[in-house]
Structure 1
Amino acid sequence: MTMQMYITLAEEDRIARYEVDTATGALTHIGDTATAARPAPLAVNPTGDRLYVGCRDAIAISTFAIGDGGALAHIGDAAVDNDPCYLSTDRAGRFLLSAYYEGGRCAVHAIGDDGAAVSPPAEWLATDKGAHSMQTDPANRFAFVPHISGGNGPNAIFQFRFDAETGHITPNTPARVAPDAELGPRHFCFHPHKDILYFSDEQGCSVTAYNFDADAGTLSAFQTTSTLPDGYDGQNSCSQIQIAPSGEFLYAPNRGHNSIACFSVDAHSGALTPIGHAASEAVPRAFSIDPTGQYLYAAGLDTGKLAAYRIEDDGTLARIATYDVGEGPMWVLLIGD
C-alpha cells in the first residue's frame, strides 16, 4: 500500500506533498503545489481522485485532480461569501459540504462531472457564529454542524436532514442539541462500527460521546471526558478529533498543554477511558491517522513542524520522527491507495 500526505501551509500559500513509508511511518517530501491565499481545510472525495482546499483569504474553494503519485492539478475554483474553515464531501461524493466560522453559515456545493465544486452552492444557510465543521452520517441522510461557545458561538450542534439527490438541508427535530455545560463542540468523528459520534469540545477541553439515533438523525450525549491530565490549570483549547480505523482508540489534541490526549474505546458501549498523553509540537491544530491505523501525524501551528508517532498496541503514542514542514500548517490529510 502506498500513501500520500497533504499539508496546507497557510503562511506560504502552498500544499506540501509527502510519500509515507507504510513499513516505518517515515515521510519523504516529494513536491509542493501553489494555492490561492491562505489554504486551510482539506477534503478528499470517496474515490480518492479529487482534493478540495478551502482558501481562507482568497474566499474560495479550489479543486485539484489527484494524479499518479499523488500529484495535484488545479481544475477549478468555487467562489463563496466567507472564508471556509471546514470541508467534507457527502458519502456519495456528489456534494461538497463546508462550514464558516466567521460567517456563521454552512453550505453545500454540487460537484460537477469533472469533480470540481460548482458555484453557486445548492445550499447556503445561516446558522450562527462559530460554525466549525460539517459532515453527513454514514447513510447520507443527516448532517451535523457543531458550533463552539465561549462568547464565539451558541454552544450547540445543529441537526439537519440531508437530501442526497438535491444537496438541500432542512432542520431536523429538534434543530439543535446543546451540552449542559459550556463545552463548545468543534469537530467530530463517527465510530466505525457503532451509532456513536465523538465531538472535541474546544472550550470544555474534553471529548463528548453521543448516541446517534440512525432513524431520527438525532444525538444524545452519554459521556464527557477531559482531554487534560489531573492538576493542569493552564490555558488550553481542543481542536480536531479522530478515531482509529479499528474503533479501539481515539485521539484529540490539546492546544496549550501541547499534547495529544489518547483514549481507549470500550468495545461494547463506546465509552472512553483516558490512557495517557503524548507531547506534541506547540499548538497541535491539525493531525491525521493513517488509513492502516499504524501511525499518527500532528502538526504544530507555532513551530511549523510535524511530529510522527507510532500507535502502539495499547493505543499510546511513541514519537518516531519530527519534520520541518513550513509555516502555518493548518491541515494534515492522508490518502491511501
Structure 2
Amino acid sequence: MPRPTRRIAPRAAIATTLAFLTLVSGVSPGMAETFAYVGNADSNDISVFKLAESGEMTPVQTAAFTGVDKPGSSTPLAITPDHRVLIAGVRSQPFLAVSFAIDPKTGQLSPIGNGPLADSMANIAVDSTGKFLFSASYGGNKVALNPLNPNGVVAEPKQVIRTGLNAHAFLPSPDNRFVFATNLGSDQVLTFAFDAVAGTLTPSDPPVTKVPEKSGPRHFVFHPNGKFVYLIHELNGDVAAFSYEAKSGAWDEIQRTTALPEGFTGKPWAADIHITPDGRFLYASERTTNTLAGYKVDATSGKLTTIGSVPTEKQPRGFHIDPSGRYLAAVGELSDSMTVYAIDQSSGALAKLKSYPTGKKPNWVEFLTLP
C-alpha cells in the first residue's frame, strides 16, 4: 500500500502566514522592543511605556518605590550598561537608590532592593563597567561614588567629595576615564580621573573648567563621536559647545548659543540637553517658556545651527531621545504628562504626535531597546 504523501507548504505560503501574524500582532519574530521609563517625583513611581514603530506609546506599568514614603524634588534615573537594572534616586530622607530588575521581554520593572545615597542627589549615572554609580547633590554641594552589588543594588558610598556650589550633573566620559561634575552655583565644571579597577576618583589636571559668571552650568552630553561636549546653562539659557580632548579630559569652548526662543524676555530657566544617536541633532529644554530648542550639529567642527523652538509640556525638566533617533519624549513637572515628537530625519524639526498621562511631577525620561 503506498504511503500517504506529506504536503509541504510552499515558502510563499509560509511567508504570507508570517506576514499576517506580524500584521495582527504588531510584533515580528525576534523584533526588538523599545520602552520609555518616566521618573515621577510626587507619586514616587516610574511610568513604563512601550514605544511602537509609529511613535505611539502604550502604558505598560506603574512601578512604585518600595520603602519610600515622602516625595522628593525630582527622580533621577539610570540604567546599567547590560540593560538588566534600572536605578532611581530618591531625594527625600532617607536618601535611597531604588533598584529594579528589567524584564528583557516585557520591559516591566521588579524591585530588587534599596541602597544608600550620600545625600539628596539631583543626578545619577552608571559607569560603563556597570560596577559604580556616580551621583551629584545640588543642595549638599558634593558628588559621590557608590559601588554596585552584582544584583544591581547600590552599596554604601565609597567616596564623597565636596565640590563648589550646587553640583548638578556627574557623568563619565565616553571612555570611562574621567568623570565631570557641573557646579551650577560656582559656574564651573570639575574634572576627576576615574580608576575603574580600583573604583576611585582623583582630581584631574587641570581640575576645573570655568564658564561665564552667573550662567549656571547644569546638564551636558557628549557627541557620539567623542570629540565634542554640549553644556546647557540654567541661569542664562546658554548652550555651549566644547571640543573634547580624550587623552587629558580637557574641554575647550568653541561656540555659545542659546536655548531661549527668539524675542524672549524674562528670567531663563533652562533644564535638559540631549543629542540624537547619530549626532546630527541636539535638543534643549527651557522651563520659563515651556519650549524645546533644536540644533543641527556639524560633526566636523562640532558647531551648532539653530533649528528653532517648539512649545512643549509645562515646566519641561526632563526629556530624552529614543535609541533609533526618530522620536523625542518630553515630560512636564506641572502637567503630569509626556508628549512624544517625531524628529524629521532631514531637518531635525520636531512634530508633535501625542501626549500621555504619567505619574505626578514627572521629571526624567530614559529609553531602552530590548533585548
Alignment of 1:52-71 (within 5 A): 52-58=87-93, 59-67=95-103, 68-71=105-108
Alignment of 1:1-337 (within 5 A): 1-21=32-52, 23-35=53-65, 36=68, 37-38=70-71, 40-58=75-93, 59-67=95-103, 68-119=105-156, 121-148=157-184, 153-313=185-345, 314-337=347-370
What is the alpha-carbon distance in structure 1 between the residues aligned to residue 42 and residue 213 of structure 2? Answer: 35
Q: What fraction of aligned residue pairs are identical, expressed as a percent?
A: 33
Write the letter of the residue equivalent to 2:96.
A
What is the alpha-carbon distance in structure 2 between the residues aligned to residue 147 and residue 42 of structure 1? Answer: 20
What is the alpha-carbon distance in structure 2 between the residues aligned to residue 40 and residue 229 of structure 1? Answer: 27
Is contact 2:243–2:302 with CA below 8 Å preserved after alignment? no
Question: How far has the Cα of 1:88 moved from its partner?
Answer: 0.6
Is contact 1:50–1:63 with CA below 8 Å preserved after alignment? yes
CA RMSD in angstroms comes to: 1.2
Write the letter of the residue equivalent to 2:61.
G
Is contact 2:232–2:273 with CA below 8 Å preserved after alignment? yes
Question: How far has the Cα of 1:288 moved from its partner?
Answer: 0.7
Write the letter of the residue equivalent to 1:41.
P
Q: Structure 2 regions of 5+ residues with no counterpart?
A: 1-31
Aligned to 2:28: none
Is contact 1:123–1:167 with CA below 8 Å preserved after alignment? no
What is the alpha-carbon distance in structure 2 between the residues aligned to residue 106 and residue 3 of structure 1? Answer: 31
Is contact 1:235–1:257 with CA below 8 Å preserved after alignment? no
What is the alpha-carbon distance in structure 1 between the residues aligned to residue 270 and residue 126 of structure 2? Answer: 24
Q: What is the TM-score of this pair, normalised by structure 1?
A: 0.95
SS at match of 2:106: helix
What is the alpha-carbon distance in structure 1 between the residues aligned to residue 84 and residue 209 of structure 2? Answer: 35
What is the alpha-carbon distance in structure 2 between the residues aligned to residue 205 and residue 273 of structure 1? Answer: 16
Is contact 1:306–1:325 with CA below 8 Å preserved after alignment? yes
What is the alpha-carbon distance in structure 1 between the residues aligned to residue 333 and residue 152 of structure 2? Answer: 30
What is the alpha-carbon distance in structure 2 between the residues aligned to residue 235 and residue 324 of structure 1? Answer: 28
Question: How far has the Cα of 1:326 moved from its partner?
Answer: 2.7
Stretches (4+) displaced over 3 A:
none
Is contact 1:234–1:257 with CA below 8 Å preserved after alignment? no
Write the letter of the residue equivalent to 2:106.
G
Q: Structure 1 regions of 5+ residues with no counterpart?
A: none
Question: How far has the Cα of 1:236 moved from its partner?
Answer: 2.4
SS at match of 1:15: strand
What is the alpha-carbon distance in structure 2 between the residues aligned to residue 17 and residue 7 of structure 1? Answer: 7
Q: Which has the larger radius of gyration?
A: 2
Is contact 2:327–2:340 with CA below 8 Å preserved after alignment? yes
SS at match of 1:57: coil
Residues matched between the structures, number: 331
Query: Residue 81 and residue 93 in structure 1: after superposition, are their counterparts in 2 closer, same or farther (change >3 A)?
Result: closer
Is contact 2:236–2:268 with CA below 8 Å preserved after alignment? no
Identify which range, 243-252 or 4-13, moves more after superposition.
Answer: 4-13
What is the alpha-carbon distance in structure 2 between the residues aligned to residue 327 and residue 137 of structure 1? Answer: 32
What is the alpha-carbon distance in structure 2 between the residues aligned to residue 129 and residue 251 of structure 1? Answer: 26
SS at match of 1:240: strand
Question: How far has the Cα of 1:182 moved from its partner?
Answer: 2.6
Is contact 1:122–1:166 with CA below 8 Å preserved after alignment? no
Question: How far has the Cα of 1:81 moved from its partner?
Answer: 3.3
Write the letter of the residue equivalent to 2:360.
E
What is the alpha-carbon distance in structure 2 between the residues aligned to residue 52 and residue 281 of structure 1? Answer: 25
Is contact 1:109–1:123 with CA below 8 Å preserved after alignment? yes
Question: How far has the Cα of 1:237 moved from its partner?
Answer: 1.1
What is the alpha-carbon distance in structure 2 between the residues aligned to residue 215 and residue 284 of structure 1? Answer: 35
Identify which range, 166-175 or 101-110, moves more after superposition.
Answer: 166-175
